[in-house]
Amino acid sequence: MRSRVKFNRLTCACRTGVCAAGAATAAAIAAGAATAAMTPAGTTISNVARIEYSLGAGAVLRSSNRVDIRVGEIIDFSVTPAPACGRATAAGVVAVGFRITNLGNGPEAFMPGSPIVTGGSNFVASGVVADSNGNGCYDPGVDQPIPFGGKTPPLAPGQSFIVFVIGTGGNGLGQVILPVTSETGAGARGTAVPGGGQDGGDAVIGDSGGVVENPAPVPGGLAASLVKSQSVRAPDGSAEPRRGAVITYRIEGSFAGTGVASDVAIADAIPAGTTYVPASLTLDGAALSDAADDDRGQYDAAGVAVRLGDVAAPALRAITFQVRIN
């Protein structure tokens, strides 16, 4: 009796993760792993082959034994300058932010080292703190210090965490370098860390080498600028600048860099051909009185004036008022 045998194609793929039965396998496959499509560390990949054939008038289907392999953990991350906070820190305190992003395929904590100041900056670092409330701004008493040898919380794959190097000074020169090390370890790309991965599996050091030392610029001295804009609303609801239309002026005072500007005052004259709209003066959205009293604003024949007092950079203050076209 003749039998006809047909072999199904067997496909066994790890996609872009590291399929590691041992550290040597992980190290060999780690190159070129793509973060976006990484298989999570600790995932078990199973495969069973099939054989199908005909024997006489009957069909036979049999399966092979199952083979399992556990995905190892890739240790990889980046450190980049964090976006500017957009508001002032405590007077005299300069905070330089760094964003740590886990580019690996398993949870990992990271250890900031001692900051290094280069390039002639007068910035003097006093410590490293975590962005404990996750708002991207340094908040004294809220954001907790990370002592030397301390670490961030474990970050999931793709998750970021901001830390600040805080200190004093800042003349707009130089950079701050914050060395950051993976908790699991460091080494040349492809270095195996047996048992160092998720759930006791193996780990392998990725492109970062387990240590990143990217710099961030030190903020410069304080510089203030004003930007003025306007909008028009006519009595009929249009934006036509005709008699009776109301013009709303907005003045934004921006204080960049570091330091404190003292006794800041902003003034603006009422344009010819218009009349001031009483009680229309505001600061940062809050109404100010027109009289020269205890609040920060006033209106008189010279125009409107707002006293901001001492302003610590970086900061943004906004003033609005209205006039009516005669």
pLDDT for position 173: 73
Q: Are 201 and 70 spatial neighbours (Cβ–Cβ below 8 Å)?
A: yes
pLDDT of residue 93: 80
Note the pTM of the prediction, 2 decimals: 0.59
Strands 203-205, 67-75: pairing kind: parallel
Write the DSSP assignment of 115-173 as a string of letters: -EEETT---EEEEEEE-TT-SSS--TTTSPB--TT--PPPBPTT-EEEEEEEEE---S-
Neighbours of 286 (CB within 10 A): 9
Q: How far is CA 296 from CA 227, 229, 270, 271, 309, in A?
A: 20, 21, 18, 22, 9
Phi-psi region of 195 (alpha: psi -120 to 50; beta: other; left: phi over 0): left
Give the Cα separation of 112 and 192 in Å (integer): 22
Cis peptide before 217 (omega within 30 of 0): no
Task: Note the CATH number of domain 75-191+202-217.
Answer: 2.60.40.10
- Amino acid 85: pLDDT: 76
**pLDDT for residue 3:** 37
| Residues of the chain predicted below pLDDT 70 | 1-36, 86-92, 171-172, 220-222, 257-259
- SS3 assignment, position 270: coil
- 223-325 topology per CATH: Immunoglobulin-like (2.60.40)
Rounded to whole angstroms, how far apart are CA atoms 204 and 234?
67
Amino acid 218: pLDDT = 76
Which residues, 6+ apart, have CB-to-CB distance to 236 below 8 Å?
none
Residue 56: per-residue pLDDT: 84
Beta-bridge partner residues of 80:
99
Alpha helices in the chain (DSSP H): 23-29
What is residue 26's predicted lDDT score, i.e. its pLDDT? 40
Query: What is the location of CATH 2.60.40.10 in the chain?
Result: 75-191+202-217
Q: What is 305-324 written as a DSSP string?
A: EEEEEEEEEEEEEEEEEEEE
